[in-house]
Structures are given as C-alpha cells and as structure tokens.
Amino acid sequence: MDKLPWLGASVKRKEDDRLLRGSGRFLDDVEETLTLHVAIGRCPYPHARIRSIDVTRALGHSGVEAVLTGQQVVARTEAITALRPFAGSAPTAFYGMAQEVARYEGEPVVAVAAVDRYVAEDALELIDIDYEPLPHVVTVEDALRPGAPQLHATVPSNVVVESTVRAGEPDRRLADATVTVEGTFRINRVSGAPIETRGVIARWAEDSSTLELWASTQTPHLLRAQLAHCLRMDETDVRVIAPDVGGAFGLKIGVYPEDIIAALLAIDTRRPVKWIEDRTEFFRGAAHAREAVHTLTLAADRDGTLRALRDRYLIDLGAYHGPLGPPLLTNVMLAGPYRLHDADIHRRVVLTNKVPMGAYRGYGQAESNYVREVLVDRLARRLGQDPADFRRRNLLRPDELPFKNVSGVTYDSGDYARGLDLALSRVGYETFRARQKESGQQGRHVGVGMSCYVEFTGYPSSAFLGRGGARFGAYESVTVRMDRAGRAAISTGVSTFGQGTETTFAQIAASLLGLDPADVAIHRGDSKGTPYSVGGFASRTMIAGAGAIEKAAGQIRDKMLRIGGTILGVDPAALETTTGVVRRRDDPSVQVSIQRVSEAAFLGYPLPPGEDPGLEATAYFDPPSSAFGYGTVVVQVEVNARSGEFALQRYILVHDCGTQVNPMIVEGQVQGAVAQGIAAALFEELVYDRDTGQLVNGTMVDYFMPTAADLPVFELDHLETPSPVTPFGIKGVGEGGTIAAAAAITNAVCDALAPFGVELDRLPVTAESIWRALAAARAKG
C-alpha cells in the first residue's frame, strides 16, 4: 500500500467551524412550521397501577391538539425489542407508554401535543390520573427477597437472566490455593448525562406515506429498524435523521418510548411533533448505567501467582430490558490483563423499580476493572507484596499473546507491563515509598494506586454477534462518491456526536484517494441515502469505518487508475495516485489531474472499453476481530485521616490504542473519558430512597457532575502498537479512559491509609465514605 499522508495527522476538525459559530444544528434547532410540542406525564411512583386517566379537560384546553394514553399506545405498537437479547432472558414487555401498570418513577403514562411546550405542560396539569401505589423494590437484594413483589408476570423472582461462564477448574484451584481474598463491592448507578438531553421530531409525510424522524441518536439505522418494528411499519417507510448530537456516550442508542409516542402523535395529527427532554425527565427516563453488586474471590499461590477467580454478581437492570439492557463486557473482561486459566463467573440480571439500564461508555469494563483491581491490591497486601510487583508477575507478556482469556476472547497484542512501568516511572514510584514514609512522619497520608486494564474495542465480526442473537452486525459501511471537480463525498449512517468522525473519515479517504481532507465532504446520520450502518458505539466506528472506506476508496482508486490509463495511453498497472494527480510511477511528469479523471467519469468519456460511467463505490466492512487496547492508570492522592477529605495530586494514564488516525482527536477522547471515569468514581450517584422508592437526586443540582474546578490535570502518555488484526492497525479509543479510574483512586486511598487497614468497597469514593471506612477499620481493631 502507498504511504498514507493523512494517517497520524492532527488535522483540525471539519466539525468545528459550524459548532464554534453556534451554527451547529442540534435537535431543538430543527424548526418547522405547524410543529406541535409534546409534554409527557410520567408516573411519580416507583410502582403503581393506573386505575384511570381522564384527559377531558386537557383536550379542551386551548392550544392542545392531541392527547395520547397508554391504552392507545399498547394497542397500536409492539414492545421495544432488545438489540442484544441474551439467550434465556425472560421477556419484559416494554411499551412506549404504560397502560395498566407503571414500573418506574418516570415511566410515560400520558402525552400531550400542543402549540408549545408551555401550553403542553399546562395541559398536563389538567389530566386526572388515579394511581394505586404498589409495593416497590429499589435494591437488588430487596428484589430477590422471598415475597418481593414480582415486577413482571413473565419474570419469576425478578431475575431476567442468570448465566455462568466457567473455564478450567476454578473450584479445585480455589480450594488448593494458598491465599484467597474475597470482597463484596457496590458499584454506583450513574448516568452518562450528556449536556444535550434526548429529543425527537416526528413527521408523517402524507405524499409518500412515510414517517420521518429527527432524533438525537448515535444509531440512525438501528433506531429506524426498531421503530419500524414497534410501529408495525415497513422499514422502508421510516426515515431517521440524526442532526448534530450534543454528546451521547452510549445512552442514545436504539429506540426509546418517547420516539414511539412522538411518531404516533405525528401520525394522528398529521403535523410535525417535537419532544425535547427536559433535565427532570432525563434523570427519570434516559438510560441509567453500571449499578451492580459483586462478590469477587481471587486466589493465588504464596509467591503471588494468580490462580483463579470467582465472581458472583448482580446487575440492577431497572424495570425493563431496553434496547441494550445490562452491560455485557463485565463478564468478558473480568480477568483483565492477567495470566488466568481458571474462572467461575456467575451473573444475575435483576429487575427493580428504577429507570431501565442501558449502555454507558465502557459497557461493563469500568465495573469489572474496579472489582478486580481493588481486590488484586488486597491480595498483594495480604501476601506482603508490592502491588506493582504482584501485577508484573501476573501480567501477560507480549510473547504470550495472542491469548484467549477465561471468557473466550482473544487478546491480540500488547505490552501490558510496559504500560505499567511507564506509568509508575511517571509518578516516581521507585522513590515514592521513601517519600510516603517521610510524609507519614509529618502526619500526612499520601498514597499511590494503580490499575491495569485491557480494553475490548470493536466487535469481532457480525457472525460473532449473530451467533449471540444480536440484532445488528459488526460492520460499517460507506458510499464514497467523486464529483466532477475531483472532490469526494462520503455518505455514512454514523452520526456526529463529538467523536470527530467527519474529520477522521475524511483523513482516511483523502489518504487513499490522493486528496486533501478539506476536499472530502461527509454526509452523515441520515438513514435515507446511506447504506446500512450500525452506528457509533462500542469503540468500533473507526475500525469498521476505516475498513469500509478502505474498500470503497480502493475501488474508486482502481477505477481512477483505469480511466487515467485511458487518458494517458498508459497501462494502469504502471500508474499511481498521489496528491491531486494520477501519474506514471516511473515518470511522474506523465500525469493527469484527478479532477480531469473525475470529469471523464461523469462525461462518460474517455473511458476504457466496457467501463461504466460514474466514480463511486459502496462498501461494507465486517471486522474479523476485536482489537484490544490496554493501559495503566496510576494515581497519587493525599488523604486527611481525620476528616476523610482527599485530593488527587497526580492522575497518570498510559495507554495503547493502536494506530492513531488523528492524535489530537484521540487525546481529546481519552481526556473526556478520563473525566467521566473520575466523575463516576468520586462524584456521581443516582440515589433512590429505599422506603419511598423515589429518585432522590434527579436534578442537575443534586447529581454531582464535576466542573473544571473539580478535576485534576490529566497526564497522558500514548503508546502506539498497531493492531495486527484491524485496518491500519487501528484500535477503538473512545471508552478506555473510563475503565481504570475508580480502581486506581480506590487503591491510592487505601494505600495512603494502609496504616489504618482501610478497605473501600463502594462507589463513589467520597470524604464521608473514607471517614466511614476509617471508622470501620478502627472498630475491626
């Protein structure tokens, strides 16, 4: 392959101009005449029977055009499907609106479409709803207790699915091991909380009998497929367009109840119907994430060789299984970068009366990293070993890769110990223990904590997904088209939500076609006019998208060489493309501009005999493998042992994400992910009151998203080991920064407070939780 001039270049982003000027077009910026605005009445109870709804006064209110109730929605639609149904899962019927029973605070119960949102909210207050509160459960323990209310008739004991992954002989290893440590860990329920909430505009196009939906979504094509299914329509009659999306992070995937509601109202009123989620709704409707309880056991020999892992964990799914449901990578990545052959991982996914869970950056990897790396530190401490030495002993070496882990996935390449060593040297680990002792003598408690991770990026083929029952593939697709001026346009179903795809896709295409990225336009996010796309999530877009662009651009380049050959009277095999021209490899003065070649394609002359006019190609790329990034986070903290207050003094991440298409964008992604990792580790938690079942802090005021003043400076080091199994050696990069924050910080705090024997076992880590852990350690004596 020829050198790729734009690969690895920190090209400034094409997206920026419009976004900086305020000309970005986000969902609420799309305005059409005659639009009706929707306000949704939501169940205020965690669990309630809806005895009656009287909408008469609302319908009579000036400015109200239509009202929709659950009875209509259930009668006219299908339940929301899972995009990754897990074999053996008990179904939960998740409709666009509750009809008889609402199962979480926030579940839609009625919707009003009116001339504006103010009037729609006025009308909601005129609707009389008679609720009969039912017994609720808002913890997994309560949901599993004998006699607990069963939330769905189809789900006995509130367990949606139970599954086990076993490898080797874990029982024997655990029994034989010299040392075992066990810990029970509670992981907080959080929200991705993008600054732009959800939103949708539905419009029924009378002339074509089609439904057009603008949605703030990461997955236009998947939303289209799911929505068509729910509405009992042909997919061909549904179009989904994603405008600029103001952040997504996994929670804007697939169909939501509000999409169904807006669509029905649009069909009924024959007017555009717009719903913009307000922030109060957001915390009670947009997918929640991560909450789980793990009881993990690690076993090792006296010399510190890890032998086996056992995990029993519960995932708090919420009231329904939505499009994505529980994270799946907890299981897959639990063993991490270590040499482990024996494992027993048992999972139960449990229903509670809370907002349904969905995907959030990491998809289970932050959870698995937290429980494992904190327990690794406890194990090292029990053995009297330095946590870095313990890890080095057990980290897989490069020559051991590819390595199939206990969950059945194969790590392709990586030098995990190198990442650890680099991060530790950054913090000055060799001299740290001496400094720690000195500080201790001054009554100050400083600590260093580390966490190593391997990161699953991309999906290893559609076959892998399909065998698992997924309703989407692993591929991406593009159509690349040249115009007669010799410029390219890429059509992709992937939407823009901050990840820089418009720029990076242009860089790859430009490299392959001999163009400048400025001459590659990107049309994105519209299901009409783009080939089937899966969407932007799972750190897969660059891998799969690059492959698709490579194929399509390859076809176009070959045709450009053929046409160039005809124009120049030269055998195409002797030609090459380079910036702006097609030319003879051995005599560059013999050349023709790409513009001239493109023009010939559109005139249909001069072309080689038998060649069709036009210069475009559509290609799908199905990655045959996942690529595994990896890294280490090292954190230095100082803790006040009296108050529990603490400060992050250093935050270091060394990571390997493979070939970087645009290093500037990679770094931005990592920084953003790190911030979210720290946010979930130290600040955020969605709190439900056990007695009332109510979400206590569902507002921006009480859900503590960190500000610039709350976060440290991140020290990032990028290693670049091209993956052997992906196009250009690219690995996914969007999620890694979230993975190791909680464990590294927890380990650092415990290291600082080691003289007190403190153990932390829940998130978020706060001054109060540290104070309580200190008290508990003292009580234990």
Partner 1 sequence: MTVALLVNGRPYERSVESRRLLVDFLRHELQLHGTHVGCEQGVCGACTVLLDGEPVKSCLMLAPQAHGHSITTVEGLAGRGELHPVQQAFRDAHALQCGYCTPGFLLGAVALADRGVALEGAALREELAGNLCRCTGYQNIVEAVERYLRQAAAGRRDG
Partner 2 sequence: MKPAPLEYLTALTVEEALAALARFDGNVRLLAGGQSLVPLLSMRLLRPMAVVDINRIPGLDRIVAADGVVRVGALARYSALEASPVIRERVPLLAKAIPFVGDRQIRNRGTLGGALCHADPAGEMALCAVTLGARLRIVGHSGLRELDAEAFFQGPYTTALEPNEMLETVEFPDGAGTEAVVVEHARRHGDFAVVSVAATGLRAPDGSWRWMRIGLGAVADRARYARRASEGLAGTRLQPADVTAAAARCLEEAGPTSDVRASAEYRRHLVPILVERALEDLARRR
Q: Which residues bind partner 1 (CB under 8 A)?
A: 12-13, 15-26, 28-29, 31, 118, 192-197, 244-249, 276, 278-279, 496-500, 664-665, 667-669, 671-676, 699-701, 705, 707-711, 713-714, 737
Identity of the residue numbered 744: A
Residue 364's CB is within 10 A of a number of other CB atoms, namely 24
Main-chain phi, psi angles of 228, to 5 degrees = -60, -45
Give 498 or 572: the residue with its C-beta nearer to partner 1: 498
The closest of 617, 491, 623, 490 to 544, measured between CA atoms, is 623
**How far is residue 468's CA from residue 505's CA, in Å, rounded to a whole number?**
30
Contact partner, 776, from partner 2, partner 1, none, Cβ < 5-8 Å per class = none
Report in angstroms how near the CB of residue 604 gets to partner 1 at its nearest: 39
CA 369 to chain centre: 16
- What distance in Å separates the CA atoms of residue 92 and residue 319, rounded to the nearest whole number? 8
Q: In angstroms, rounded to a whole number, what is the distance separating the alpha carbons of residues 309 and 275?
A: 47
User: Contact, 458 vs 540, CB < 8 A?
Assistant: yes
Residue 645 interacting entry, from partner 2, partner 1, none, C-beta within 5 to 8 Å by type:
partner 2
The count of other CB atoms within 10 Å of the CB of residue 409 is 21
**Smallest separation, CB 281 to partner 2 (Å):** 9
Give the rounded distance of the alpha carbon of 534 from its chain centre.
13
Residue 696 binds: one of partner 1, partner 2, none (C-beta under 5 to 8 A by kind): partner 2
Is the CB of 480 or the CB of 741 nearer to partner 2?
A: 741
Query: Residue 380: in which H helix or E strand, if any?
Result: helix 365-383
Closer of 20 and 696 to partner 2 (Cβ) = 696
Smallest gap, in angstroms, from Cβ of residue 705 to partner 1?
A: 6
Q: Is 647 in the site for partner 2 (CB under 8 A)?
A: no
Contact between 497 and partner 2 per CB under 8 A: no
Give CA–CA dist 261/112, Å, rounded: 10
Identify which of residues 46 and 460 has a Cβ nearer to partner 2 in the complex.
46
| 150 contact partners, CB below 8 Å, separation of at least 6 | 156, 157, 158
Minimum CB distance to partner 1, residue 287 (Å): 15
Tell me which of 280, 385, 439, 461 binds partner 2, using CB under 8 A. Answer: 280
Is 385 an interacting residue with respect to partner 2 (CB under 8 A)?
no
Specify whether the CB–CB gap between 103 and 155 falls below 8 A. no
638, 697, 722, 756: residue in contact with partner 2 (rule CB under 8 A): 697
- Contact between 779 and partner 2 (CB under 8 A)? no
Q: Which is nearer to partner 2, 483 or 645 (CB)?
A: 645
Q: Per-residue x/- marks for partner 2, 752-771, CB under 8 A?
A: --------------xxx--x
Site string for partner 2, 198-237 (x = CB under 8 A): ----------------------------------------
Judge contact between 558 and 472, C-beta under 8 A: no
The least CB distance from residue 702 to partner 2, in Å, is 5
Rounded least distance, CB 98 to partner 1, Å:
25
Q: Is 150 in the site for partner 2 (CB under 8 A)?
A: no
- CA distances 202 to 196, 260, 271, 320, 526, Å, are 18, 9, 8, 24, 14
CB of 442 to partner 1, least distance (A): 23
Distance (Å, whole) CA 229 – CA 83: 12
Q: Does 429 bind partner 2 (CB under 8 A)?
A: no
Q: What is the DSSP letter of 81?
A: P
| Strand ranges across the sheet with 581-584 | 575-578, 581-584, 591-593
As measured in angstroms, the least distance from the Cβ of 760 to partner 2 is 15
Instruction: State which of positions 677-696 bind partner 2 (CB under 8 A).
Output: 683, 687, 696
In degrees and rounded to multiples of 5, residue 604 shows phi and psi of 80, 15
Q: How many residues sit in the footprint of partner 2 (CB under 8 A)?
A: 28
**DSSP 8-state symbol, 488:** E
Which residue in 1, 434, 709, 713 binds partner 2 (CB under 8 A)?
709
Q: With binding defined as CB under 8 A, does residue 642 bind partner 2?
A: yes
For position 645 contacting partner 2 by CB under 8 A, the verdict is yes
Cβ-Cβ contacts under 8 Å for 8 (sequence gap 6 or more): 659, 660, 661, 662, 663
d(C-alpha 418, C-alpha 670), whole Å: 19
Q: Which of residues 67-126 bind partner 2 (CB under 8 A)?
A: 117-118, 121-122, 125
Tell me the closest approach of the beta carbon of residue 61 to partner 2, in angstroms.
12
For partner 1, which is the closer residue by CB, 473 or 500? 500
Could you say which of 278, 430, 558, 587 contacts partner 2 (CB under 8 A)?
Answer: 278
Is the Cβ–Cβ distance between 182 and 290 less than 8 Å? no
Instruction: List the structure tokens of 592.
Output: 């023709």
Residue 706, preceding peptide bond in cis (omega within 30° of 0) = no
Q: Residue 400 interacts with partner 2 (CB under 8 A)?
A: no
Cβ nearer to partner 2, comparing 126 with 489: 126
- Using alpha carbons only, how large is the chain's radius of gyration in Å? 28
Nearer to partner 2, 64 or 506 (CB): 64
Partner from partner 2, partner 1, none contacting 693, C-beta within 5 to 8 A by type: none
- Out of 166, 279, 392, 484, the only residue in the binding site for partner 2 (CB under 8 A) is 279
Please tell me the distance from the alpha carbon of residue 24 to that of residue 5, in angstroms, as a whole number.
Answer: 29
The helix/strand/coil state of 268 is: helix
SS3 assignment for 201-222: EEEEECCCCEEEEEECCCCHHH
The interface partner of residue 121, options being partner 2, partner 1, none and the CB cut-off 5 to 8 Å by kind, is partner 2
Q: Is 707 in the site for partner 2 (CB under 8 A)?
A: yes
CB closer to partner 2, 684 vs 735: 684
> In this structure, which amino acid lies at residue 683?
F
Which chain residues interact with partner 2 by CB under 8 A? 117-118, 121-122, 125, 278-280, 642-643, 645, 683, 687, 696-697, 701-702, 704-707, 709-710, 766-768, 771-772
